[in-house]
Amino acid sequence: MPQLIPPGSTLGVLGSGQLGRMFAIAARRLGYRVHVLSPDDDTPTGQVADLEIRASYDDLDAIAAFARGVSVVTFEFENVPAATTAAAEKFAPVRPGGNVLHVSQNRLREKTFLKEAGIPVTPFLPVRSAADLADGVLHFGVPSILKTADWGYDGKGQVRIESLEDAAKVWRQFVGKECILEQFVGFAAELSVIGVRGLDGSFVSYGPIRNSHANHILDVSVMPAGVSEKVARRAVEITREIFSRLEVVGVLCVEFFLDKNDELLVNELAPRPHNSGHLTIDACTTCQFEQQVRSVCGLPLGSPRQHRPGAMANLLGDLWNGSPPNWQQALALADVKLHLYGKAEPRPGRKMGHLTALADTPHEAAERVIVARTALASS
């Protein structure tokens, strides 16, 4: 029987953004205390945690002291150095484990792991020189996508290559970095499946969720995704296989491309709750953040059952545009929920919050959440 970390215990979170905030809210509702560590203060997570510690992830003494004060350590973002994880693991269990972070932090390691496991992925090649890039572009043709192997999210660290001449110019900004070149996939849809695995090996999932992006940032997510039963079943099977092979304890999102032949290709892994799963807070019996609490604490996993079709729209700092959004107009719409992250400074491209809408069909939910977001910008 897995060791239970009961309500009343203290949970530690590395990272202090909106994902940690929503985790902390779920944890406190279940009776847990929450400590958070990050290099910042007055953070989205810190505002709702019991204790906010400002320290660098490279300060291993601070990490050790932090881990001594909690019963388990989890993450709200995956780019935590391996040494940080190792320091924390000496004093508290870390879930998901350092092996999961090691794979998912580096796109080349991630894609290689998945390919060797027999998981379908976008075709890729390692790139460490201008010659590697030229050879890769000749192999895949154009367009191709060049990405840094490390530390990429929301379109950062990647560029689309349209010609061999373009490749030579692009490489100048990537010199000295380990990179990965991916074949461009003409996909019919971008999907995500958020899975949860408990200490006892139990597994539940949400999705697939259909996602659309704007400027490489997630814009709108809709669930159900409107794909065939065969595609939905296969997406969950692949997700479960990845969880099993990585021995994940916690929440992890698998991002997919669905090609024009209804074949699934894994694009990326995110070993934490995912932006596309924010709609589970309002649409499902147990949201992804409560599942994260349950899984890392050894509690039984909750039901992922969806009450009604739902859609989520991100709210970026662009909406503020020098003045507060029109909250009254947006919240006057039925079945629309507002979630703000406590960030004081709105900036273009910065995720400030999200809206969720529920409706009788996925299409209606998507329409409603977009109408609500448009209303925020009205005077």
**The predicted structure's pLDDT at residue 300:** 98
- Residue 1: pLDDT band by 50, 70, 90 thresholds? very low
Given phi > 0 = left and psi -120 to 50 = alpha, else beta, which region is 62?
A: alpha
- Residue 378: pLDDT band by 50, 70, 90 thresholds? confident
Segment 64-68 long-range contacts (CB within 8 Å, at least 24 positions apart): 64/88, 64/90, 64/91, 66/12, 66/35, 66/37, 67/12, 67/91, 67/92, 68/92
CATH classification (class only), 123-183: alpha beta
Residue range(s) of every CATH 3.30.470.20 domain in the chain? 187-376
Q: Is it true that the peptide bond before 123 is cis, omega within 30 degrees of 0?
A: no
In the predicted model, what is the mean pLDDT of the chain? 95
pLDDT of 152 higher than 80: no
Q: What is the 3-state secondary structure (H, E, C) of 18-71?
A: HHHHHHHHHHHHCCCEEEEEECCCCCCCCCCCCEEEECCCCCHHHHHHHHHCCC
pLDDT tens, residue by residue, 171-191: 988 998 999 999 998 899 999
Residue range(s) of every CATH 3.30.1490.20 domain in the chain? 123-183
- Strand ranges of the sheet holding 179-183, from the earlier edge strand across to the other edge: 124-127, 179-183, 144-148, 158-161
pLDDT tens, residue by residue, 92-127: 999 999 999 999 999 999 999 999 999 999 999 999
Q: What is the 3-state secondary structure (H, E, C) of 295-328?
A: HHHCCCCCCCCECCCEEEEEEEHHHCCCCCCCHH
pLDDT tens, residue by residue, 8-49: 999 999 999 999 999 999 999 999 999 999 999 999 999 999
Region 193-214: mean pLDDT is 97
Residue range(s) of every CATH 3.40.50.20 domain in the chain? 10-94
CATH code matching the domain that covers 187-376, chosen among 3.40.50.2300, 3.30.1360.70, 3.90.1150.10, 3.30.470.20 = 3.30.470.20
Torsion of CA 26, 28, 33, 36, to 10 degrees: 50
This prediction's pTM: 0.96
pLDDT of 153 higher than 90: no
DSSP state of 203: E
pLDDT of 158 higher than 90: no
pLDDT tens, residue by residue, 315-373: 999 999 888 999 999 999 989 999 999 998 999 999 999 999 999 999 999 999 999 99
pLDDT of 128 higher than 70: yes
- Residue 112 and residue 118: Cα distance in Å, rounded? 10
Spatial neighbors of 46 by CB under 8 A, at least 6 apart, are 16, 36, 38, 40, 52
Asked if the 10-94 domain carries CATH number 3.40.50.20, the reply is: yes
